[in-house]
Amino acid sequence: MSKDELTTCPRCGGNACYKQGMGADYTISLCYGCGFTTNSLMKSDSKFLEEQLEVLPELYKDLIYVDTEGYHWIPSTVNLLEKGMVYIDGANTQDWKWSAVKSTTIPEELRENYPIPNKKGEYYEYKMNMKTLKTFGGKEYMDALDYIDMFKIETK
């Protein structure tokens, strides 16, 4: 596959699953309906999947959906420094939600308090403002993305 296309999500059945061909038989799929994602390396018994499972939070592992082709779908995490972050939060597979938080500009005089790891003399310009935390239901992924203005096009 070398083109982008909208497909039906095997997890939620919605028609907003964006599949992107990256070349060399590598694809990435993200459902904007349910917020779950997979790629062509996320199949059962793959080394890549094994590596992902080592670092994923337990709730993300518990929520994995395996489709009929053996692809493992996991909740996505969006982290856009200038806009915000969307992630899964909850106690278990029956009690979880999407959490969204907006970012804020760090005042110039305080940036020394926010060094970028392994980049001597460089500092973050933005940080997540936890005072803006808002939660969304499991089927409100698009609303969470909209909350952090992911779809807003900046013009300068």
pLDDT tens, residue by residue, 22-53:
777 788 999 999 999 999 999 988 999 999 99
Buried b (16+ CB within 10 A) or exposed e, 79-108: eeeebbbbbbebeeeeebebbbbbbeebee
Q: State the average pLDDT for the chain.
A: 92
pLDDT of residue 155: 67
Mean pLDDT for the stretch of residues 113-129? 93
pLDDT tens for each residue of 67-110 = 999 999 999 999 999 999 999 999 999 999 999 999 999 999 99
Full-model pTM:
0.86
What pLDDT was estimated at residue 48?
92
